[in-house]
Structure 1
Amino acid sequence: MRPIRTLISQSADLRRFSFGFVWSVLGTVAVRLTPMITTILISHWFGIEAVGKFGVTYGTLVSASMLAATGVSLMATRNVAAYATTDPETAGRLAGMALILVAATSALLGLVIFCLADDIANRLLRQPQLGFYLRVIAPIIVVSALNSVQTAILSGLQEFRAIARLNIIMGALMIAAVPAGLYLHGLTGAFIALGCAYLAGCFITMPTMMRALKAHGVPLAFRGALSQWRMITRYAIPALLASILYEPVNWICTTIVVNKPDGLEQVGLYFIAMQLETLLLFAPQI
């Protein structure tokens, strides 16, 4: 054990990896627990059909948020990491462009879901009661996607400890707020509490991101940010196209199942199974 500690203390790379690993474990535990705890509480308090409603709506939120943010997040991480040291001003404009793009794309996607919520619920899901919940989660898409890109910028700056701490805070907020909202106002309260947690996460992450950019000498710039448009065609669009191939698959499968007799109950069972899968894949995801 002592030689390992000595090796870690003498190697900057191993020391960074070890600290990053510990913080990542703590952050991942906090974030991953929320859906699982919420699922258990919903199944006990409201039954398996309510779990299905939660699963369909939450799955829509996750898929839409990732669709809006995946390409931009990958572009932000890659380019901020590439230019933070060699060309800080370019890195700042790229970070600004990433925030502008994710705000625009997530707002557009959220608006589409809000306006078409009843059509999606009636025609695609064949569950009219889900239209209300889809409208509730539409604004959450914006703050969820924005938070993802803020985290991606921190990743580009290699601020992994800060990311893990933010994950712990987010996890704590969700674990405290979502069950409380569920208890007070059912599924509507749970989604509102989830949105408030994401919004609080954005407000907490923003100053952390700004401090990290300042510490690395990277000036965040929105003026002239779109001059880095070539990065969109070079990195964000290919990443977006790749995410389109796999990101909606789970939502499409859920849509197929929920159209069957007892569809909500079947989705509820599936969503519970997915939470168990999270436990099995926990170590690899860390």
Structure 2
Amino acid sequence: MLKIENPRWKELINNSFWSVGGAIASKGLLFLVWILVGRILGSASYGEFGIIRNTVLMFATFSGFGLGLTATKFVSEYMHRDRNMVVTTINVTYFFGIFMGILISVLFYLFSQQLSVTLKAPQLLFDLKICSIILFFSSLNGIQIGILQGFQKFKEIAKVNVIQSIICFPLYILGAIYFGVHGAVIAFLVSYILICILCSFFIKDIFAKNNITFSFLSVKKGFSILYTYSLPTFISGLMVSPIKWICDTILISSAGFKSMGIFTAALTFNNIVMVMASMISGPLLTTLASKKDNENKTDVNIERFNLLFPWYLSILISLPLIYFFEIGHSMFGDSYEVMEFRPTFIVALFFTIIMMFKEGLTRIVAVNNLQWWSLFSNLIWGLSLVTFVYFYVGIDSTTMAIGYTLAYSLNILVLFPIFNKRNLIPKNSILGFDSLLIWLLLLSSAIFCLQNYTLYIRIIVFCIVLCLVVYIVYKKFIRIKNESN
């Protein structure tokens, strides 16, 4: 029987077990929900639901203020070293989170009519007003999950996600069947409220065991955390969700809600890959933050795992779907135009792999208090995407996906040399000749699958490419193992 002696790896594996288990159960149901809702609503109505969901995510950036990540980072780092710092972090994030949640929710409600006009969708006014309530609970949920992750309560988070998914699954389906977009949005609201209620039970227990109480004096002491860590995290987030929302509105103006629906459907698989990769994001972040040695360093193998795992996982999930796009199209149905869905789907999966390539580095930046570098990274990405979408004439779902690909690629090309020079990237991890070979195989695969080759030819080529990728990854781990020994 395999025994793991390293306490850091034991902790990571134990936390990841619950995170992975909870994600498979809950996010698997969520994935099924988005597919079924997409089939029930059709491409145009699903496009409306997609822009509503993205609007919530955009304004959640303002109400959240990066407080969830702040709570995770500081609670996990100081949990065994400085109880006062933990209490201060919890107090200031809760206080400011409630304040921002109320403020943004009220402003969103007051300007919901103008927002529906901007979207050229007055029929969505009711749904946008419902979103104002969602925003408040979104702010609370981010902080609650952040605190639970900081205390490494991944088993409890798994329970929250599973219970919420089981209850909301039928609500989404019945809501979409009987009330269309309105019903799906109501189910969306219920899911956020449920998460808040369930998290409150576990957090109440944590507060009782650790004798944590609310103190305004503690809040005043913790404001330095907000402008040194939360503020750059918040500003960095402004370069993501709002940029995506702006691009979505341009897509709707150019190609309509039907094209938006196709793009949303394609991104469903993007979201699943991100969820699968994030299954150990919380455990990794807490392990990296809490297990620094006296020289402010962590285990190099954990750092490598942090960088390689999300990338390899995204390849494992995305590569078969790139070669066999029919899987994705058959799930959503014939209302999604196949000639537009196919290239959008393939390109979206390709930029998903690019996103995961730098996912681990994002955690390293967070752990080392380099959030201003994250801001710079997102600024490059945001400006690149908006520039492409704004100046491209006749943008549709496919060209939107191409814009995302170019933006993420430019982001990596500009920033990776900088991060590598600052020794943020461990040797023998995501940079090297083997990584270049994998990228060439992936790019060739995407270009190949955009052509109209028969299924039999694609099966043969897929098997060859998969064997090559597996061989390269295998040789990589052999080198890492030899180096460790």
TM, length-normalised to structure 2: 0.54
Q: For residues 129-278 of structure 1, what are the structure 2 equivalents within 5 Å? A: 129-215=123-209, 217-227=210-220, 228-261=222-255, 263-278=256-271
Offset at 1:119?
Answer: 0.8
Change (3 A) 1:93 1:141: same
Deviations 1:167-196 (A, max 9, x none): 222222332322232233222222222212
Change (3 A) 1:156 1:60: same
Offset at 1:128?
Answer: 1.8
Cross-structure match for 2:76 = 81
Change (3 A) 1:173 1:222: farther
User: Any unmatched runs of 5+ in structure 2?
Assistant: 280-485
**Matching residue's letter, 2:237:** S
Cross-structure match for 2:100 = 105
Q: Provide the rounded CA distance (Å) in 1 between the counterparts of 2:125 and 2:20.
A: 37
**Matching residue's letter, 1:134:** L
Q: Provide the rounded CA distance (Å) in 2 between the counterparts of 1:278 and 1:237.
A: 26
- Runs of 4 or more above 6 Å deviation: none
Change (3 A) 1:242 1:142: same
Offset at 1:209?
Answer: 1.2
Cross-structure match for 1:25 = 20
Q: Does 1:60 align with 2:55?
A: yes
Cross-structure match for 2:332 = none
1:284 aligns with one of 273, 277, 280: 277
Q: Provide the rounded CA distance (Å) in 1 between the counterparts of 2:215 and 2:29.
A: 34
Contact 2:37 2:46 in 1 (8 A): yes
DSSP-derived class of the 2:48 partner: helix
Change (3 A) 1:175 1:30: farther
**Matching residue's letter, 1:47:** G
**Matching residue's letter, 2:96:** L
**Matching residue's letter, 1:114:** Y
Cross-structure match for 1:115 = 110
Q: For residues 1-40 of structure 1, what are the structure 2 equivalents within 5 Å? A: 2=1, 4=2, 7-8=3-4, 10-33=5-28, 36-40=31-35
Q: Provide the rounded CA distance (Å) in 1 between the counterparts of 2:275 and 2:224.
A: 37
Contact 1:84 1:218 in 2 (8 A): no
Q: Provide the rounded CA distance (Å) in 1 between the counterparts of 2:76 and 2:273.
A: 32
**Matching residue's letter, 1:266:** S
Offset at 1:145?
Answer: 1.8
Which 10-residue stretch deviates more, 108-117 or 38-47?
38-47
Offset at 1:218?
Answer: 4.7
Q: Provide the rounded CA distance (Å) in 2 between the counterparts of 1:66 and 1:26.
A: 28
Deviations 1:30-61 (A, max 9, x none): 44345533433333333211101100001111
Offset at 1:88?
Answer: 2.1
Which 10-residue stretch deviates more, 176-185 or 270-279?
176-185
Change (3 A) 1:194 1:224: same
Identical-pair percentage:
22
Greater Cα radius of gyration, structure 1 or 2: 2
Offset at 1:212?
Answer: 2.2
Contact 1:70 1:239 in 2 (8 A): yes
Contact 1:67 1:247 in 2 (8 A): no
Change (3 A) 1:42 1:156: closer
Contact 2:65 2:97 in 1 (8 A): no
Q: Provide the rounded CA distance (Å) in 1 between the counterparts of 2:73 and 2:17.
A: 23
Cross-structure match for 2:44 = 49
Cross-structure match for 2:342 = none
User: Any unmatched runs of 5+ in structure 1?
Assistant: none
Contact 2:37 2:172 in 1 (8 A): no
Q: Provide the rounded CA distance (Å) in 1 between the counterparts of 2:156 and 2:97.
A: 21
DSSP-derived class of the 2:10 partner: helix
Q: Provide the rounded CA distance (Å) in 2 between the counterparts of 1:173 and 1:63.
A: 26
Contact 1:107 1:142 in 2 (8 A): yes
Which 10-residue stretch deviates more, 269-278 or 23-32?
23-32
CA RMSD across the alignment: 2.1
Change (3 A) 1:241 1:23: same
Matched pairs, number: 278
Offset at 1:81?
Answer: 2.4
Q: Provide the rounded CA distance (Å) in 1 between the counterparts of 2:25 and 2:61.
A: 20
Change (3 A) 1:159 1:279: closer
Contact 1:52 1:268 in 2 (8 A): yes
Contact 1:159 1:212 in 2 (8 A): no
Offset at 1:247?
Answer: 2.5
Which 10-residue stretch deviates more, 79-88 or 241-250?
79-88
Q: Provide the rounded CA distance (Å) in 2 between the counterparts of 1:35 and 1:53.
A: 18
Contact 1:52 1:271 in 2 (8 A): yes
TM, length-normalised to structure 1: 0.88
Change (3 A) 1:70 1:218: farther
Contact 1:49 1:265 in 2 (8 A): yes
Q: Provide the rounded CA distance (Å) in 2 between the counterparts of 1:218 and 1:86.
A: 16
Q: Provide the rounded CA distance (Å) in 1 between the counterparts of 2:96 and 2:165.
A: 26
Deviations 1:103-160 (A, max 9, x none): 11122112222111111111x2122222221111110111122111101011111222
Q: Provide the rounded CA distance (Å) in 2 between the counterparts of 1:24 and 1:258.
A: 36
Change (3 A) 1:70 1:163: farther
Contact 1:110 1:139 in 2 (8 A): yes
